[in-house]
Amino acid sequence: MTATKTILVIDDELGYRDMLRMDLSVQGFNVFTAAGGLEALAILAQEEIDLVVTDMKMPKMDGLETVIAIKKNHPGIPIILMTGYAIEDRVQTALQLKATICLKKPFAIEELTTVIQRTLPQ
């Protein structure tokens, strides 16, 4: 039996963050949430996180800045981006920094789960 994997969901929208937390928890993941990049970095400093799912468009510290900080301090953690906006240049830069994939909001939770299963180390 494999150990429970821990996911950090970063999104400034409380409702979206809570929906993902509940959906992923039901599927057996241990889920932490953060309202932004700075809060996420604090969690990453204290918890063992297996994968990060982050929104791109957030106040103060956007998704690209968050990806840069995570890759600098925690280079082995896979990152899945999500966005509802056409910010292709920021997404492309994040993908070049080794973010795994960018999902366009809204997406089905099954789509996210499939990407997570493919991305997580076994």
Question: Which tens digits make up the pLDDT trace of 72-117?
Answer: 999 999 999 888 766 666 667 766 767 677 778 888 899 999 989 9
CATH of span 6-119: 3.40.50.2300
The domain segmentation of the chain, as residue ranges, is: 6-119
The torsion angle over the Cα atoms of residues 86, 75, 8 and 12, rounded to 10 degrees, is -40
- Which residues 6+ apart lie within 8 Å of 15 measured at CB? none
Mean pLDDT of the chain: 88
Average confidence (pLDDT) over 10-26: 96
